[in-house]
């Protein structure tokens, strides 16, 4: 067989050659923008010429600090196909972490959306490797800025040549770099190769993963600075799927309007988004969302209550997904098996609120504290270990953290899970979020889902509080619907839980809060909460 590499270039060429008429829609700050993969390819070539002109060399790290727009999409392909390394910087990190990761990655250039310039200005003095800043704006001129030297993306690209001969790289060439959103310590970097990116993008497309085709219209709500928007921009180009890039406005009305207007079929995002969209629909806002094949939930668990309510009230199916920065990111998706069509409704919704089963191409092991594989019976709990061509083997320039997590050829996820008899995984907790009460484990995620089934509850986070007798005990922090605040009591919540969990799982305390504190990627910040309530 030919020694033919798996490259991101293959995805770009396919979009250009077979799907030049298909559209990319992009919501910019000042106006909506629409073009085709044909136009896109030409702009990617122009951008590649500009990268050469800016003396970008193979292996150079190129930072992006941007929303989900067509320009970010152009950077995804131009940077990687040139042989440089795309570093998507999480715009939600605080200044100390931002500065750390830009310096740690040794970014040479940073491409910045115009409204995000102030965040980079704030840290610019501390950046040791950045040579130039390129601002992406719809305006003729670039905004007033202290950054220097600074260039206008459109002016650079507008004048460049529209053809480029992308190199034939080794498939193991590093294509991209992303940092985890650390809840403890500093963010850790993960590098992705052309091979891993290609295999991940292709595998997402098979029906038993998500089933992405040219017929799909994909609206990635998940930011392009969160592990490549879970890989959807790459899968879209490979399959010629229309892309709808929502820019910075992720409010429920803006999203619902876009879905209706562009007839979106797949919408990936985190549960907070779907909780907000659901509440917006419940408030009486009416849209035609019938084009949706799946809401793709990821980043954190979604409650069975919400899965069921979306389906019953609005005919919308939710497909669970699960992954992490270390896994490119998708590891599990949750399509039912054909014979589950015969299952009871209740059992189906329970399945659909799980994280799912392993994607083809990966290997997994779920082990208990003694390193023994657990039974697939839905009860035994263990840590999920992973292997595969899109699983990291180390953290970037970080041997100490790497040694703790990548052991014996396996990535140790620190996620505690159960596996049912059909191979579907339910994440019970992050290792450190599990509550150990009197020698027995309590799953905070499970308790949260049960509390969130209460009709007055919007969100609930359960954390461990130290206990003299039991070592740890659960405490619930509950956000009520505005109309219910002051009306629902701790006792109501405990009464509601009574016939749903074992007696010793009942939280020792229920406290009502206005909002669950979240990390920069929208997950519950339990570390912060534990500190607050310790």
Catalytic residue set: 180, 326, 436, 441
In this complex, which beta carbon is closest to a second copy, that of residue 18 or of residue 285? 18
Q: How far is the CB of 301 from a second copy (least distance, A)?
A: 21
Give φ, ψ of 4 to 5 degrees: -105, 120
In this complex, which beta carbon is closest to a second copy, that of residue 187 or of residue 335? 335
Q: How far is the CB of 238 from a second copy (least distance, A)?
A: 6
Q: Taking the mean position of all CA atoms in its chain, how far away is CA 510? A: 30
Residues at the interface with a second copy (CB under 8 A): 1-6, 10-11, 13-14, 17-19, 21, 172, 191-193, 195-196, 199, 202-203, 205-208, 211-215, 238-240, 328, 335, 337-339, 357-358, 360-361, 363, 387-393, 409, 411, 422-423
Candidates 63, 68, 102; CA nearest to 86 is 63
In this complex, which beta carbon is closest to a second copy, that of residue 203 or of residue 303? 203
Q: How far is the CB of 425 from a second copy (least distance, A)?
A: 11
Cβ contact 413:384 at 8 Å: yes
Q: How far is the CB of 373 from a second copy (least distance, A)?
A: 12
In this complex, which beta carbon is closest to a second copy, that of residue 388 or of residue 522? 388
Strand-pair partners of 323: 330
Give a three-class secondary structure readout of 50-62: HHHHCCCCCCCEE
In this complex, which beta carbon is closest to a second copy, that of residue 17 or of residue 313? 17
Q: How far is the CB of 2 from a second copy (least distance, A)?
A: 5
The owner of tokens 């923008």 is 33
Q: Taking the mean position of all CA atoms in its chain, how far away is CA 8? A: 20
In this complex, which beta carbon is closest to a second copy, that of residue 84 or of residue 493? 84
In this complex, which beta carbon is closest to a second copy, that of residue 242 or of residue 473? 242
In this complex, which beta carbon is closest to a second copy, that of residue 97 or of residue 195? 195
Compute the distance between CA of residue 289 and CA of residue 307 in angstroms, rounded to an integer.
16
The owner of tokens 């310096």 is 103
Candidates 183, 184, 232, 271; CA nearest to 72 is 232
List helix spans (H) across 83-215. Answer: 95-105, 117-123, 153-158, 194-205
Q: How far is the CB of 395 from a second copy (least distance, A)?
A: 12
Compute the distance between CA of residue 345 and CA of residue 308 in angstroms, rounded to an integer.
9
Q: How far is the CB of 450 from a second copy (least distance, A)?
A: 28
Q: How far is the CB of 361 from a second copy (least distance, A)?
A: 6
Compute the distance between CA of residue 478 and CA of residue 457 in angstroms, rounded to an integer.
7
**Residue 436: which H helix or E strand, with range?**
strand 435-437
Compute the distance between CA of residue 44 and CA of residue 82 in angstroms, rounded to an integer.
10
Cβ contact 467:479 at 8 Å: no
The structure tokens listed for 50 are: 């500009």
Candidates 203, 193, 204; CA nearest to 170 is 193
The gap between the terminal CA atoms of the chain, to the nearest Å, is 61
Q: How far is the CB of 5 from a second copy (least distance, A)?
A: 8
Cβ contact 395:190 at 8 Å: yes
As to burial, measured by CB atoms within 10 angstroms (0-12 exposed, 13-18 middle, 19+ buried), residue 367 is middle
Give φ, ψ of 446 to 5 degrees: -65, -45
Q: Angle 304-314/444-452 helices, nearest 10 degrees?
A: 40
In this complex, which beta carbon is closest to a second copy, that of residue 361 or of residue 378? 361
């Amino acid at each position: 067989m030919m020694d033919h590499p798996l490259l991101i270039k293959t995805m770009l060429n396919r979009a250009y050659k077979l799907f030049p008429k298909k559209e990319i829609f992009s919501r910019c700050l000042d106006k909506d923008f629409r073009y085709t993969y044909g136009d896109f390819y030409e702009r990617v070539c122009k951008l590649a010429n500009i990268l050469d002109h800016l003396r970008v060399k193979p292996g150079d790290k190129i930072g992006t600090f941007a929303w989900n727009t067509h320009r970010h999409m152009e950077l995804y392909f131009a940077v990687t196909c040139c042989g440089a390394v795309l570093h998507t910087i999480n715009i939600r990190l605080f200044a100390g972490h931002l500065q750390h990761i830009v310096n740690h990655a040794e970014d040479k250039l940073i491409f910045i959306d115009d409204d995000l310039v102030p965040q980079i200005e704030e840290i610019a003095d501390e950046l040791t490797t950045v040579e130039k800043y390129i601002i992406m704006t719809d305006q003729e001129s670039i905004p007033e800025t202290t950054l220097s030297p600074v260039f206008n993306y459109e002016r650079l690209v507008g004048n460049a040549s529209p053809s480029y001969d992308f190199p034939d790289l080794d498939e193991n060439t590093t294509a991209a770099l992303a940092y985890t959103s650390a809840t403890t310590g500093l963010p850790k970097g993960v590098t992705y190769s052309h091979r891993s990116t290609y295999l991940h993008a292709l595998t997402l497309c098979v029906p038993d993963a998500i089933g992405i085709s040219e017929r799909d219209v994909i609206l990635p709500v998940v930011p392009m600075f969160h592990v490549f928007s879970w890989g959807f921009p790459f899968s879209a180009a490979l399959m010629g799927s229309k892309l709808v890039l929502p820019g910075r406005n992720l409010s429920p009305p803006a999203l619902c309007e876009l879905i209706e207007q562009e007839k979106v079929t797949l919408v990936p995002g985190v549960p907070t988004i779907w909780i907000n969209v659901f509440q917006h629909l419940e408030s009486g806002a009416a849209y035609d969302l019938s084009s949706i094949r799946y809401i793709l939930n990821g980043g954190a668990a979604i409650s069975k209550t919400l899965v069921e309510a979306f389906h019953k009230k609005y005919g919308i199916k939710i497909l669970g997904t699960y992954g992490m920065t270390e896994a490119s990111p998708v590891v599990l998706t949750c399509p039912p098996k054909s014979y589950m069509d015969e299952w009871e409704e209740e059992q189906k919704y329970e399945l659909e609120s799980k994280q799912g089963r392993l994607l083809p191409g990966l290997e997994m092991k779920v082990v208990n504290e003694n390193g023994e594989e657990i039974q697939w019976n839905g009860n035994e709990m263990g840590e999920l270990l992973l292997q595969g061509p899109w699983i990291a083997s180390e953290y970037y320039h970080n041997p100490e953290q790497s040694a703790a997590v990548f052991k014996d050829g396996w990535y140790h996820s620190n996620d505690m899970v159960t596996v049912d008899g059909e191979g579907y995984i339910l994440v019970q907790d992050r290792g450190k979020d599990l509550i150990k009460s009197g020698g027995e484990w309590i799953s905070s995620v499970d308790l949260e889902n049960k509390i969130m089934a209460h009709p007055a509850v919007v969100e609930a986070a359960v954390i461990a509080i130290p206990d003299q007798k039991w070592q740890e005990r659960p405490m619930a922090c509950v956000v009520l619907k505005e109309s219910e605040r002051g009306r629902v009591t701790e006792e109501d919540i405990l009464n509601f839980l009574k016939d749903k969990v074992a007696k010793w799982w009942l939280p020792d305390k229920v406290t009502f809060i206005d909002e669950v504190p979240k990390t920069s990627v929208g997950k519950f910040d339990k570390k912060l909460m534990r500190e607050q309530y310790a």
